[in-house]
Amino acid sequence: MYLLSFSSKPNYVYSIIDEKIVMEADNAFVELIAKIKNIWTVRQIAKIDGYNFEIGDYNVRYGNLNVGSHSKGLIVEVEHTKSTSVTESSDLLIEFIDYLIPKELYKNYKLELKLKERANYNFTFTSRHTAYQYINLLRSEKIL
């Protein structure tokens, strides 16, 4: 089980269980897990503390990634606010990121492609999908 929280959603925690079940819960869930720790083992807790900027139709979030008490780097997230469909916003996001950040400074879009492979292209993208992508990124980079 992985727990992930975002400073942009301070009242929620996201739990990823068995690499496929994503749950959104309030902070009381963390207390509950602590009480039944003999049933569930929290592997690591990742937290991203940062800032949110609105630039036109985009939200740009960046923050420090902390796993436990250790800083693991800087994360940048870009959201197109006018669309929740992966197909509608993919090209716009790629174009905006290319404009915002030089290509040498960021990784390819491998996680977005993984998400597209697993789902129908017209689903509504939610914070749970974001948490899922973060966990996959952190695991693929051997941070978790």
Q: Which pLDDT score is estimated for 110?
A: 47
Length of the chain: 144
Rounded to whole angstroms, the Cα distance separating 106 from 119 reads: 25
pLDDT tens track for 31-88:
887 787 777 666 677 788 889 999 988 888 888 988 888 898 888 888 888 876 666 7
Label residue 22 by pLDDT band (50, 70, 90): confident
Q: Which pLDDT score is estimated for 53?
A: 92
3-state SS, residue 24 = strand
70: tokens are 């250790």
Whether the Cβ atoms of residue 75 and residue 63 lie closer than 8 Å to each other: yes
Q: Which pLDDT score is estimated for 41?
A: 64
pLDDT tens track for 85-143:
666 777 788 788 888 877 777 665 544 545 555 545 556 778 888 888 888 888 888 88
3-state SS, residue 77 = strand
